[in-house]
Amino acid sequence: MVSFTIHANNDSICIECESHPDAWFCDLCACTTSSGSLGFGTLNNVNFIGLRYIYQTFESRNGIFENSPRSKEIFNTYQLWAQVPVYKSIYITATVPYQDLNRRFEGETEGLSGLGDVSAIGWYKLQFYKKESSKEDALVDFNKTKEPSGHSIQFGLGIKLPTGEFEEAFANNVNPGFQVGTGSVDGIFSLRYDYSGNRFGINTLLSYYLKGENKNEYQFGNQMSYALNFYSVFKQEKMNIIPFIGVSGDLYEPIRQFGEVLKDTDGDITNASVGLEVAIKNFVFGANYTLPIRQNLFGNAVEAQSRTSLYVNYVL
């Protein structure tokens, strides 16, 4: 995805396009099967507040045979998110999710809902600038503003808090990710590279999630997430339209309980995504559709299906 720094002046609009990560916290269902490679729509160098809705579906096979009974899981996530610049190249992003999860199995429905795990991450941005002219007769201007090259590297360090409730009774489901929260404190370590040009851009991000153990001695496996996105900018008179395509993925280590590794609880998934962002004055509207192209989750007992995300951000 891409983000915007927006300066509104009466009926005119100037939008500086900068890339942002299409990967952030594993904060959707606070579990291993929710992809960590989901977008966090940051607005660089400005304060903003936004809302995002995410719809995910999974199908789990309750048995070892192909004709074993199957359950359908539907995850609805409602997020409040924001970004607050701290000092020059340092800013903080945070998200507060509310989870509404439903599971249908053999004609019966069960559900969980409530506050999910709150997350926050601090970022340091290293911006690269174009080289100045090396002519010998050129005068040195110490007041000259450096021109950005479009390249930047960002380093992130964050934490996920156990604000969502962990239900031990649901931990034995085929999809143990059917939880409002993990009940653990987790660490997040991220490295991101961005390039943004006048019409095209690219961003990449690599994140590692260090999962803690909860009070039930249950520990979701550590997770590595990656994302690569390409976008194009179409500038209109009073708006910018930016479509994007991307690929992302996650690698999961096995779950542990009482210090023992649980069988068939690791896995990996690769996703393809397509989306669109539209910036109009102080508002940014976005939509994203993601479809797995390769996966092996919980010994192929869990199948992630499509994921849809809708969001709107308001620049304060």
Is 143 part of any domain? no
Is 138 part of any domain? no
Q: What is the CATH number of the domain that holds 305?
A: 2.40.160.40
Using pLDDT thresholds of 50, 70 and 90, give the confidence band for residue 67: low
Q: Provide the sign of the torsion angle of the four alpha carbons 297, 298, 299, 300, taken in this order.
A: negative
Is 142 part of any domain? no
Mean of pLDDT over the chain: 81
Is 291 part of any domain? yes
pTM for this structure? 0.83
pLDDT on residue 238: 87
Domain count, the chain: 1
User: What is the distance between the alpha carbons of residues 56 and 79, in angstroms, rounded to a whole number?
Assistant: 14
pLDDT on residue 23: 36
Using pLDDT thresholds of 50, 70 and 90, give the confidence band for residue 20: very low
User: What is the distance between the alpha carbons of residues 164 and 179, in angstroms, rounded to a whole number?
Assistant: 9
Is the pLDDT at 292 greater than 90? The verdict is: yes
User: What is the distance between the alpha carbons of residues 261 and 254, in angstroms, rounded to a whole number?
Assistant: 6
Phi, psi (deg, nearest 5) at residue 20: -135, 165
- Block residue for tokens 């309980």: 257
User: What is the distance between the alpha carbons of residues 96 and 52, in angstroms, rounded to a whole number?
Assistant: 10
The mean pLDDT value for 197-218 works out to 91
pLDDT on residue 221: 93
Is 140 part of any domain? no
pLDDT on residue 305: 92
Is the pLDDT at 212 greater than 60? The verdict is: yes
User: What is the distance between the alpha carbons of residues 212 and 205, in angstroms, rounded to a whole number?
Assistant: 23
For residue 267, the one-letter residue type is G
Please, which residues bridge with residue 81 across strands?
50, 95
Is 139 part of any domain? no
Is 248 part of any domain? yes
For residues 293-302, one letter each, b for 16 or more C-beta atoms within 10 angstroms of the residue's C-beta and e for the rest, the string is eebebbeebb
Is 141 part of any domain? no
The boundaries of the domain holding residue 41 are 2-132+148-315
The mean pLDDT value for 36-46 works out to 47
pLDDT on residue 138: 56
Is the pLDDT at 216 greater than 50? The verdict is: yes
Name the residue among 163, 175, 159 with its Cα closest to residue 31: 175
